[in-house]
């Protein structure tokens, strides 16, 4: 049986925060949760772009439950401000969907001087999650869904050159950040279980989905070869709506459990199913090591 948006349980009374909700997977996720009755907080890097998309959504859904906050995951000060705003404005958060990301960027540094992909995809979301844990813990059945990708299976943590200072390869850095997503989510699930907080931490990956990540990567790197590769692979890609199903399933399906990962049935495309976790993320000692290093970096 194929799990679809129609299978999402009623979300009335619940509050969901979705990072990167103005495009791609995040947009589809925000729309689906809103249509099921949730109050959705769109957390977007650009307020004008986020507001423009918010107005487009409201043209077909006159809900009063679609909010917008500014969140730049490449700036830990922005993450702190966004979390503080959520704490002030909302009495609850039931779902945190760490969806936003960057992919295969040229060597670039975050506001705090950290490698951009590691900073945005992993550290920014870790900082946001940890700051919102007390709010999440107030709700029975709260979930954190961290969105990774199939690149996790190719990822390696460059322990001696985590920021790519000695050698930078944009795809290796991307894969490292996606493996870090998995390691963080699994370690988080262990910790919230031990604390008996009632929070579940899950993972999702979209397979090959058409989003703005591909054209942005091509434009940023001025790579005609990459552009050609995407055109040749296009028949293998599924829509952003289909790509969003694994994270929606992880966030809402009653059967989904903490520590699980959902992805397309055939790993590249298809309806969501429970899927294999990257073996390197199963090493508890490495997860604890990454957590410790990440905590130190977040104190910058």
Tokens found for residue 8? 């999402």
Looking at the DSSP bridge assignments, the partners of residue 204 are 147, 262
Query: Of the residues 174, 230, 262, 271, which is catalytic?
Result: 174
Alpha carbon separation from 276 to 93, 143, 150, 295 (Å, rounded): 28, 20, 10, 27
CA distance 105 to 118: 11
Among all chains, which residue has been given the structure tokens 């490495």? 286
Say if CB 189 and CB 205 are below 8 A apart.
no
- Rg for the chain (alpha carbons), in Å? 18
Residue ranges with strand state E in 194-260: 200-204
Q: In what order do the strands lie in the sheet with 200-204?
A: 66-70, 39-44, 15-19, 95-98, 143-147, 200-204, 261-264, 272-274
CA distance 141 to 123: 25
* 271 is annotated as an active-site residue: no
Catalytic residues: 174
């Amino acid at each position: 049986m194929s799990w679809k948006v129609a299978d999402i349980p009623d979300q009335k009374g619940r509050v969901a925060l979705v990072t990167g909700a103005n495009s791609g997977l995040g947009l589809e996720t925000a729309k689906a949760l809103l249509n099921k009755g949730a109050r959705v907080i769109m957390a977007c890097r650009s307020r004008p772009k986020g507001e423009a998309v918010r107005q487009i959504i409201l043209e077909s859904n006159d809900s009063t439950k679609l909010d917008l906050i500014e969140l730049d995951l490449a700036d830990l000060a922005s993450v702190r401000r966004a979390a503080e705003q959520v704490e002030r404005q909302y009495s609850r958060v039931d779902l945190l969907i760490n969806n936003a990301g960057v992919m295969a960027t040229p060597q670039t540094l975050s506001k705090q001087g950290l490698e951009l992909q590691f900073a945005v995809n992993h550290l920014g979301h870790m900082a946001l999650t940890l700051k919102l844990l007390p709010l999440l813990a107030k709700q029975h059945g709260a979930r954190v869904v961290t969105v990774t990708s199939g690149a996790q299976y190719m990822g390696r943590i460059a322990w001696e050159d985590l920021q790519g200072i000695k050698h930078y390869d944009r795809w290796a850095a991307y894969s490292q950040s996606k493996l870090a997503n998995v390691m963080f989510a699994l370690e988080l699930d262990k910790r919230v279980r031990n604390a008996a907080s009632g929070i579940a931490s899950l993972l999702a990956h979209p397979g090959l989905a058409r989003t703005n990540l591909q054209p942005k990567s091509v434009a940023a790197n001025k790579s005609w070869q990459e552009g050609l590769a995407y055109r040749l692979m296009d028949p293998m890609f599924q829509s952003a709506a289909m790509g969003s199903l694994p994270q929606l399933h992880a966030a809402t399906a009653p059967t989904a459990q903490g520590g699980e990962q959902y992805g397309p049935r055939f790993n590249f495309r298809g309806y969501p199913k429970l899927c294999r976790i990257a073996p390197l993320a199963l090493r508890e000692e490495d997860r604890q090591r990454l957590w410790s290093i990440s905590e130190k970096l977040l104190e910058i």
